[in-house]
Structure formats: structure tokens, C-alpha cells
Structure 1
Amino acid sequence: MAIKKNGFIPSSAPEELNNVLKAVASEWGDKIQDMEEFHVIPLKGAMTNEVFQINWPTIHDDLHQKVLVRIYGEGVELFFNRDDEIRTFECMSKHGQGPRLLGRFPDGRIEEFIHARTLSAADLRDPEISALIAAKLREFHNLNMPGPKDVLLWKRLRTWLGHAKKFCSPKDAKDFCLNVLGDEINVLEKELAKDYQEIGFCHNDLQYGNIMMDEETRAITLIDYEYASYNPVAYDLANHFCEMAANYHTETPHLLDYSIYPDMEERRRFICAYLRSSGWSDVLELLHEGNEPSDAEVEQLLIDAEKYTLANHLFWGLWGIISGHVNKIDFDYLEYARQRFQQYWLSKPLLLGS
């Protein structure tokens, strides 16, 4: 992909992308004569794909159209099936969730540009915004998506472990303890998977960069569904809590700070807002209805989510190993993986005993 990362799309950009962009512009009544009219702004924070905002002038000189172009990262077929992800994306659009799909080309796609701001790491700690996210997440989990409703987590972990073993040298495999992770996955599935747990359509990548908010309406939108699947909802809550230790917009975006992992009261507040919600986003009205979950319900989900952080650490640790060998994005994937595995081994005795 020869897309220019600052300024304009050059004439050397893939013809398919040029043609799809021109088609989108034409559909909106804008006649683009020269590719120099497309202005490109790289967007930071993505770690699986490269993402760009592309603007062009409308027939009214003082106005501009905006779209988002997503260039698929290398090796993503090891993590998920792109056709399945596109079907999920289109289905989400039909449910009124996320951006619309505007066009596709071999190396990526063009999406509707959402006029909302992407959240920051600090936003996740704002109690009001956190409650809005919790309500939106409840709505997301309640979506009725096509296909089987089976939990994908354990199968995916075992598949990724196989990929990681193929990529790693004997030394790295030993350093990452890959030889024992199969047994660890078995233990986690036995200890964590319980019949009473709610299974829902989970996002599975709830970092702040995948959450957007309309400043006027305060509406929350979850984006980027590459890893979405049916899973225990406690796993998705755990994923969100783990992401609060990250800030991907620093000079060292791969470094995690578990000293700022949300404390018990912060996690309990999020889970209470989640359980109060029936899935619609007007949290303030909802909070005044007195629809309080029982203490037992809150405590059980709090315990389950904390245990599922272990599965999250293995999930993203394996992702880091594989990404470090196939993805060219400027991110220290292997060091990220080391931190996730380190946190796994530190947390396991506290959460599961020996």
C-alpha cells in the first residue's frame, strides 16, 4: 500500500482504492477529477490495521466530506477470518451500531466517518463516561448476531498458541513458557467456565481507542469488531478493566502500568451501571429508576470478571507474540506480550490459589 501518510494520496496509490474513493465521492454528488484532491490524515493508536481519515472538497467549496480508510494489517488472517469480520461489520450497521461500510478494496475498506471523538485513556476513569460505556456494553452484549452462539475464547486461545509456537525460536518459546500454556488454558477453562455465566456477543477489544462519544448527545459508539465473538460477558468486562492499565498515545505505547488498574470500588461501580442497564444509553434516567441489581449479583460478576483477567492476559500475550512476527506497525509487540504473561503469572496465585 503506497498511501501517502501526510498530505494527499499520490497517483501511485492502488487503483482499486482510487476507484472506490471516486465512486463514494460520486455517490455523494462530488466529482473528483484528480487524486490530489483527496487529503490524507493518519490516525494513531491502531495496532492491527493502519487507519486514515480522508477528506475532499464538496461541490460547495467551503465544505469537506470525510471518510475513514482502513488498511488491513499483515498476518491478520491468523487472528480472525476477514470475511466473517466484514459480515459482523455489516450486521452491526443494520443494528444501528457503528459506522456504515461504504466500499471495499483488496487491502482494506472505506467506512463512514463518525462525527464523535475517540476516547482517551483518562476518559475511562471518568465516572459519568464509564457509566455510559457500561450501558452501551450491555446493549452490545444483548445483540442477536447470526451464526452459532458458542463461546469462542478457548478454541481461539488454543489456535493462537499453535501459531505462537511456530513463530518462536526455542529460546523465546522457553522465555514465554509456551510449553506449559496448553495446560494453563485447560486449567482456566475448567476453573472459569461455569453454567450460570451469561454468554453474550462480546467486543473483546475494549481499549479506549475503540470507544467513541458524541460530545452533544453523549452517545457511545463501539467500533472495530475484528475480535468480536460470543463469549462470557465477564470476559469482556475483564478486558475493559485490563485496558485501563494502557495508554497507547505515549512515547512508549507498549508499556502497561498495572498500578493504575481499577480498584475494587471502580470495578464495582462499572458493574453496577452495567447490571442496571437494560441496554439503552440514557444512564442518568436509568439510575433514577431504582433498578438496582442484588448485592450477590454484583459480587458474583465482580469475582468472575477478575478471574477472567487471566484469560485476557493469555489472549493478548499470544496476540503480541504473533503480531511481533507478522505485523510491521511500529509497536513493540513482544515486550507487550512479556508484560501480559508476567501479569498472568503474578495474578494467578491470587485469583485461583496455587
Structure 2
Amino acid sequence: MDIAPSVAIHDSIPHHPLSVDTALSFPVMSHRVIDVCKKLFRKWEKLDDSRFSVETVSGGITNLLLKVSVKEGNGDNVAVTVRLYGPNTEYVIDRKRELQAIKYLSAAGFGAKLLGVFGNGMVQSFINARTLNPADMKKPKLAAEIAKQLRRFHHVEIPGSKEPQLWVDIFKFFEKASSLRFEAPDMQRRYETISFKEVHEEVTQLKELTDRLNAPVVFSHNDLLSGNLMLDDEHGYECDYSLYPSKDEQFHFFRHYLKPEKPYEVPEKDLKALYIETNTFMLASHLYWALWALIQAKMSAIDFDYLGYFFLRYNQYKKEEQMCLHNLTYQSKKA
């Protein structure tokens, strides 16, 4: 188990209460971001603003990522990433829990190094690498390396409760998502087409079924799509489910996850068990992000069709449900 060194966790990380309003025009917001950087890092506090440049790294649907480049007094050029939390995202994200996890993962060598924290965001080291795309994730060598690193990620020791949070979060999301009201009439009409009685029954049934799997509890990423993986070397949400890995591709990944040093010694029964476990929890992922999207539709100021995203994920859940539940029932009878 990878245990992050405690010296890297305790607060040598600078903090400042200043926040940056993401609704500001980009030039004004950039000035505020520069101000935050100066207040967090003393070596920059006397630099002229002309030594800083700010550019958008990602137009994500939860947070805004900015690259801040700085020409320091000694002539060195450095860059950091500033992550601005999306408006009202604290409604569904426990920022204290998130920050603790990032600190430990950073110390264990995962992701960007945490450099500073401010009122509604954080500053991290800038990683000069490209994000993967769905086609990359099908390449056997890359898939094997991702599996190996995911195994290591799941073994990082994060202090705190070891009780699973997935269903706690899903039921919390359901409670919030099922009691919204939209000012825009067209959004309210679309929202009212959702049968929350049906959604609640689906959530309850799936929880009961996943409980039967006795799956291990690990610290999970929960959003490990291609854009969140980077390799050294969002233009919308049109999900192409034809790119979902085949059974053979999944077995290749599982072998390198379960036994990275000797992947072809993994017993077939272990591969089949993990196949059923993974694809059953895939259903939980659809419900999780569908309910999250409804809350975002009400709370977020980001220009994104969150209601449409709910229907995209929930409809895919319904499409996949019977096959996954059949596999689980069949496996249970064999056991």
C-alpha cells in the first residue's frame, strides 16, 4: 500500500481567503487570478502584472482550468495551473474531503503537485503533457500501463473513514435532484418528464444487487475518462458508446490490473468475476452522473446542456441494465 509521506500533507501549503468570481469578464478575472498568485507566493508579490499571462486550459463542465505563466525576476519562465471551482459546486462536492485527497495523492506521485489554496480554488503545478483520447485507451500498451497505475492509485492510503461513499452520494444526489424547480419554462417541462419514482426504484434495486458482489472498498477516481489521463510525449458531450471496450479489451486491462508483473497468470474465474463487478458498477456510474447533471442544471452558470446530459446517461443506463443484471443473476446462481 502506498502511504503518502506525512511531511508533504501538513500545511506548508500556502492559503489565502481571496476568491475569484468566474462570472467576470476574462480580462478582469485574469487580473484577479494574478492577484491571488501574488498573495499566495511571496516571490511573486512584487512582480509587475506584465510578467504574468493567463490562458484557458480547459472549458470543463465542473471547474475552470487556467494556465498562469510567469517571468520571474531572475528571468526564469515558470507556469502553474489555477483551478477555479464552478459556481455552486460545493452543493454536491465536499471540498474539504476533495482537498485532503488531492494532498495525499499529490504526495504519492499522482497528478499535479498542490502548491496553494484560495477561497474558491487551488493552484497546482503545470503538467506539460497531452491528455489521452478514447482511441488511445484501446492501445494495449497504454491500457496495460493505465491498469497498473490504477491498481497503485487504489492502494494509496487516505486517512479517514473506510466506509463506501458511492451510495451515500447517489442517494444524496437523488434527494437534491428530485426537488428542483427551474425558472425557464422549457427546462421545467423537460424536468417534469422524469419519473423520479422510477429512478428511485432503479437506484434502490441496483444498490441491493451491488451489495451482493462484496466488492472491495478502495479510494476511487470515479471520473477516469480519457480527458483526465495525461501522457508525457470539452467540445460538448456526444458520448460514443461504440467505443466502450469489448470483453477481450476489458480482460486485457483486468490482467494488468490484478497482476501487473505476471498478467497472463490471472485465473479465468478472476477475470469473469471482475468483468461482472465492473460492468454492474458501470450502471451505478450512469446513475451517479445522471443525478449530478440534474443538480448542475439548476446550480451551474456554465453554458452546458446538463438536462440533456441527464437523459443521455439515464437512457444509456436503461439500455445496459438488462444485460448487466442478467450477468449478475447468472453468476449468483452459479455461486
TM-score bracket, normalised by the shorter chain, equals 0.7 to 0.9
Kept in 1: contact 2:81–2:123 (CA 8 A): yes
Percent identity at matched positions? 30
Correspondence for 1:299: 272
Runs of 4+ deviating beyond 6 Å: none
Matched-pair contact (CA < 8 Å) for 1:160–1:318: yes
Match of 1:76 among 63, 72, 89: 89
SS of the equivalent of 2:115 reads strand
Query: Match for 2:208: what amino acid?
Result: K
Distance 1:350 1:174, change over 3 A: farther
Evaluate the alpha carbon distance shift between residue 110 and residue 176 of structure 1 in structure 2; reply closer, same or farther with a 3 A threshold: same
Offset at residue 11 of structure 1 (A): 8.5
Query: Residue by residue, what CA displacement relative to the aligned partner does 1:165-193 show, whole Å, maximum 9, x if unpaired?
Result: 12256744442322222221111111112
Determine if the alignment matches structure 1 residue 271 to structure 2 residue 254: yes
8 Å Cα contact 1:116/1:214 also seen in 2 = yes
Query: 1:185 and 1:309 mapped to 2: Cα distance?
Result: 13
SS in structure 2 at match of 1:199? coil
Structure 1 letter corresponding to 2:199: L
Alignment of 1:146-225 (within 5 A): 146-168=159-181, 171-194=189-212, 196-215=214-233
Q: Provide structure 1 residue ranges, at least 5 long, that are not aligned to the other structure.
A: 216-247, 278-285
Q: Work out which structure has the larger RCO, using CA pairs closer than 8 Å and 6 or more positions apart in sequence.
A: 2
Shift of 1:98: 2.1
What one-letter code is carried by the residue in structure 1 that aligns with 2:304? F
Change (3 A) 1:198 1:144: same
Q: What do the CA deviations read for 1:258-281 (whole angstroms, capped 9, x no partner)?
A: 12221111111111111123xxxx
SS of equivalent to 2:172: helix
- The alpha-carbon distance between structure 1 residues 342 and 12, as it changes in their structure 2 partners (threshold 3 A), is closer
Quick one: which of 67, 89, 93 aligns to 1:53? 67
Deviation for aligned residue 1:103: 1.6
TM-align CA RMSD: 2.4
1:311 corresponds in structure 2 to 284
Q: CA offset at residue 20 of structure 1?
A: 3.7
Equivalent position of 2:38 in the other structure: 22
Relative to 1, partners in 2 of residues 1:126 and 1:213: Cα closer, same or farther, differing over 3 Å? same
1:210-263 Cα offsets, whole Å, 9 max, x none, are 212223xxxxxxxxxxxxxxxxxxxxxxxxxxxxxxxx44xxx22212122211
CA distance in 1, matches of 2:67, 2:304: 21
1:254–1:331 CA contact under 8 A, matched in 2: no
String of CA shifts for 1:63-110, please: whole Å, max 9, x gaps.
411000111101211222111211111122222322222222212111
> Is the Cα contact below 8 Å between 1:54 and 1:69 reproduced in 2?
yes
| Partner of residue 130, structure 1 | 143
CA distance, structure 2, for counterparts of residue 98 and residue 329 of structure 1: 25
1:133-192 CA-partner distances (Å, limit 9, x unpaired)? 111110011111111111111111111011111225674444232222222111111111
**TM-score, with length taken from structure 1:** 0.78
Counterpart of 1:38 in structure 2 is: 52
Aligned partner letter, 2:38: K
More moved, 130-139 vs 108-117? 108-117
TM score, norm. by length of structure 2? 0.82
User: Whole-Å Cα distance in 1 between the matches of residues 192 and 25 of structure 2?
Assistant: 40
After TM superposition, give the deviation of residue 345 of structure 1 in Å. Answer: 1.2
Q: Which amino acid aligns with 1:184?
A: E
Change (3 A) 1:26 1:266: same
In 2: Cα distance, 1:174 partner to 1:31 partner: 52
Q: Which amino acid aligns with 2:60?
A: A
Conservation of the 8 A alpha-carbon contact between 2:54 and 2:66: yes
8 A Cα contact 2:116 2:122, kept in partner: yes
Is the CA contact (8 Å cut-off) linking 2:30 and 2:54 kept in structure 1? Answer: no
Structure 2 CA distance for partners of 1:130 and 1:11, relative to 1, 3 Å: closer
Q: Determine if contact 1:165/1:178 at 8 Å carries over to the other structure.
A: yes
CA shift in 2, pair 1:95/1:260, >3 Å:
closer
Partner in structure 1 of residue 13 of structure 2 = none
C-alpha spacing 1:152/1:164, structure 2 compared with 1 (3 Å): same
Equivalent pairs, count: 301
Q: Which amino acid aligns with 2:302?
A: I
CA distance in 1, matches of 2:230, 2:247: 25
